[in-house]
Structure 1
Amino acid sequence: MRLPCEVSVSSRLLPSAGLRGPGRGARAVVALGKPPGGGGVWLQLRENIEQLFTKFVEEGKATVRLKEPAVDICLSKANVGHLKTFLSAMKLADRGTSEESLPLSTLAPPKASEVEKPKTKMTITSRKDYPFAQSFPYTLEQLQASYCKLPRIDTCILGLKRLRKLDLSHNLIRKLPVTIGDLVSLQELSLQGNLLESFGAALCNSTLRKSLQSLDLSQNKIKALPAQFCQLRELIHLKLDDNDLIRLPFKIGQLSQLRFLSVARNKLPFLPNSFGKLSLESLDLFGNPFEQPNPLAPDIQLKIPLTLWEHSARATINYRLPYSCHVLPSHLCHDLDMSKSCHCGQACLSSFIQTTVTMNLHSVAHTVVLVDNMGSTEAPLLRYFCSLTCYSQFLDRHLQSIR
């Protein structure tokens, strides 16, 4: 039984002699087996393991403390499954299990490939180079598989728990599996130039919320992003160019870390109300068919008097009362999640006045790409009002500003 990993051996007697312990570990192969001539286990383990430290075994790390010699063998960067099997075999050997019962073979020198530094980066740019018949190295941290005509994301990719950067651009992927949210270390994801029509709400509620910093969905067929998209709070770079987007998530202003946003050549008629809360370094909205804003022609959906549900829902949001599907029916939670914010700061749900106003994009971004060929850096912003009073006050200020 062989375990390729990084190994460092520390003597517990060194501190008493005033000496420092070993430095960084070295790539090696730890083997459990019989010496070439037979005659039992090569390193005495029977009743010789003082303790196994396995708190970080899910990260490929463990420490074996021997009684004699008084050393700690520190294992790291190992395959998690292989490490668990190896530790189980060591426990059996310590308990005195017979050699016939242990999966041991005759020891042999390790191959050069076993002690090489594990591969962390792989780039594939053609279908003929894609490893369809074998799995990827589990140590991969960066993977690019572009122009491979992949119709889906392979399960072998979804098992690469160390991936920080995944580039699957220019393939034929139509749908994203929910399990892509299990890539707990993923920081950069590029899906440019595929056939995606959606980005699932389940992905927005996965571990990607805490890890994903860069997302490229440009050159797909996406018409809308789910409201839950704004749960990806760590996003810094977001590219949505050349899709069929007819709207942006209405709570996009919650993406407080977002600094680079590109939504060029889509079908946006206006920007959501919360867009004004963004603080960007670069913004590109070129080539969208923005409507001409007209604050004097509102869409009035105000119901007077307000329904009991509207009163209750507004109070829940305004007073920040906690709610969840364990307390309320799921459809009511969904309605509360979709609440709108009036210019006065109060909430409204299904009863409101809606209009569009002109927004100078330099108010949210340092660098702004022109919206059209006429040199404009302005776009229509959707705005909501919770009452006639709020709309009247806004209208008075607007009329005074254009006099």
Structure 2
Amino acid sequence: MRLQCEVEVINRMLPTFGMRNRGKGTRAVLSLGRQEEKGSGQRGLIYLMICTLKDKAGSRYKLQENIENLFSKFLNEGKATIRLKEPAVDICLSKANVCNLKNFLSAVGLAHKGTDANPVPLSRLIPAKTSEIEKPRAKLIITCKKDYPLTKNFPYSLEHLQVSFCKLVRVDMRMLCLKRLQKLDLSNNHIKKLPKTIGDLVCLQELTLHNNFLETFEVELCHSTLRNSLKALDLSENKLKALPVQFCNLRELVSLKVDGNELIQLPFGIGKLSKLRFLSATKNKLPHLPNSFRMLSLEKLDLFGNPLVRATPMVPDIQLKVPLSLLETTSRATINYRIPYGPQLIPSHLCRDLSMAKTCDCGGPCLSSFIQTIVSVNLHQVSQSVVLVDSMGGTEAPIVCYFCSLTCYSLFLDKYLQSIRM
């Protein structure tokens, strides 16, 4: 049986001589096995062998009737201590796999009692390989196709993986097994589609897909565990024409880059991304911004290079139907009174319509019956720092506004005309 972890061997006699222990663990491989007694026909005793990079041959410690105590209070944190009688040392274990550590300590206890460690298998007491002792790799950067691993798996311990300029046309499924991954950078490849299972990376905080061939962002990713983990997303320099309505489920997003795409609109509910602080959407095809954009509280905003239209508050697009249809009335009431709904209660297309309801300036909802107009808003109202939206030095941008009734639109016009006179 073998265990990989960090080990510190503390000599309990050192303080007697006025000396201190080093106080720092080192990466090691621990083995449990029998040391055969030469010249005797009897089976040898079970020993604990500790191999490190400096001592690959290993140090051996007898276990039978030689354990003074086993300290396992912090076992669930991957920590434990084996206190030996002879020599008087404490073997402190840390950063171990919890399940493996429990099995290892169980075998150690059996060895101390002089009982066979079966059914737990014993290992041969042989020097450990360098690859077994080396510290688990947390970061791997590959920027050349010839360095890309074809036959070997990625190290399971990776927290940061970058694979760029390797002409990948799809996300390698081996990457999706890296459950500790926090940063994944697949920039400058030829990826056309994201697998739905990328949402199974429960620790993923940063996803970079700059300069690929993406045409869509999968709706399933917006319903995955990325909702609770993803903080930075870079989709710049792709072929995206739209982001799904459900994109706003990624509530933990702090930074979003969608520069150099073909976006004709931003998600209408983008204002729900309350933690978003950095937004860059340069060189797209955005004519205007969605109504909820005014709800954002950004630190930096860059919209340069979009064909933004002029505001036309006095030229509304009237889709208002009087009287309101029964469907519109009940839909507004469902939202206003927060009545629970779902596909198990009403048709799925109605659920989709309700989730895409527009918000009037008065705060009320409207679905298919509304008055729409475009107003100009100074972007400094939503961001501390604003990159100029055009070469003329402007920071004004058009935003779509909706009104649920003629009364709400009239109130808006009164305020607008009053502001012009002033």
Regarding TM over 0.5, the answer is yes
* Cross-structure match for 1:338: 356
1:57-96 alignment runs, 5 A limit = 61-62=77-78, 76-78=94-96, 84=99, 87-88=102-103, 91=106
Q: Give the SS at the match of 2:211.
A: coil
* Cross-structure match for 1:18: none
Q: What is the alpha-carbon distance in structure 1 between the residues aligned to residue 181 and residue 118 of structure 2? A: 39
Q: Which amino acid aligns with 1:185?
A: C
State yes or no: 1:318 paired with 2:323: no
Q: What is the alpha-carbon distance in structure 2 between the residues aligned to residue 54 and residue 32 of structure 1? A: 22
Taking a change above 3 Å as real, the CA distance of residues 290 and 72 of structure 1, as seen in their structure-2 partners, is farther
Conserved in 2, the CA contact under 8 Å of 1:65 and 1:71?
Answer: no
Conserved in 1, the CA contact under 8 Å of 2:79 and 2:95?
Answer: no
Q: Give the SS at the match of 1:5.
A: strand
Q: What is the alpha-carbon distance in structure 2 between the residues aligned to residue 276 and residue 72 of structure 1? A: 62
* Cross-structure match for 2:31: 31
Larger Rg: 2
Structure 2, gaps ≥5 residues long? 12-20, 38-42, 49-62
Could you tell me which of 396, 402, 405 is aligned with 1:378? 396
Q: Which amino acid aligns with 1:6?
A: E
CA shift, 1:76, in A, is 4.7
Q: Give the SS at the match of 1:106.
A: coil
CA shift, 1:338, in A, is 0.7
- What are the superposed Cα offsets for residues 318-342 of structure 1, whole Å, 9 maximum, x if unpaired? 2233334444443322222111110
State the identity as a percent.
Answer: 58
Q: What is the alpha-carbon distance in structure 1 between the residues aligned to residue 22 and residue 354 of structure 2? A: 58
CA shift, 1:253, in A, is 0.8
CA shift, 1:178, in A, is 1.6
CA shift, 1:140, in A, is 1.4
* Cross-structure match for 2:241: 223
* Cross-structure match for 2:293: 275
* Cross-structure match for 2:57: none
1:256-295 alignment runs, 5 A limit = 256-295=274-313
Structure 1, gaps ≥5 residues long? 12-20
- What are the superposed Cα offsets for residues 31-69 of structure 1, whole Å, 9 maximum, x if unpaired? 2333355525325589x998978985xxxx545687987
CA shift, 1:358, in A, is 0.9
* Cross-structure match for 1:188: 206
Superposition CA RMSD, Å: 3.2
CA shift, 1:3, in A, is 2.3
* Cross-structure match for 2:370: 352
Conserved in 1, the CA contact under 8 Å of 2:110 and 2:116?
Answer: no
* Cross-structure match for 1:42: 47
CA shift, 1:92, in A, is 7.2
* TM-score, length of structure 1 as denominator length: 0.85
* TM-score, length of structure 2 as denominator length: 0.81
Q: What is the alpha-carbon distance in structure 2 between the residues aligned to residue 45 and residue 276 of structure 1? A: 72
* Cross-structure match for 2:189: 171
Conserved in 2, the CA contact under 8 Å of 1:302 and 1:351?
Answer: yes
* Cross-structure match for 2:53: none
Q: Which amino acid aligns with 2:375?
A: V
1:110-121 alignment runs, 5 A limit = 110-121=128-139
Conserved in 1, the CA contact under 8 Å of 2:29 and 2:128?
Answer: yes
Q: Which amino acid aligns with 2:31?
A: A
User: Which stretch shows the higher mean deviation, 125-134 or 110-119?
Assistant: 110-119
Taking a change above 3 Å as real, the CA distance of residues 24 and 351 of structure 1, as seen in their structure-2 partners, is farther
Q: Give the SS at the match of 1:206.
A: coil
CA shift, 1:101, in A, is 5.1
Q: Give the SS at the match of 1:297.
A: strand
Q: Which amino acid aligns with 1:104?
A: L
Taking a change above 3 Å as real, the CA distance of residues 106 and 243 of structure 1, as seen in their structure-2 partners, is same
* Cross-structure match for 1:14: none
- What are the superposed Cα offsets for residues 304-359 of structure 1, whole Å, 9 maximum, x if unpaired? 22222222221222223333444444332222211111001111112111111111
Q: Give the SS at the match of 2:256.
A: strand
Conserved in 1, the CA contact under 8 Å of 2:160 and 2:183?
Answer: yes
Q: Which amino acid aligns with 2:29?
A: V
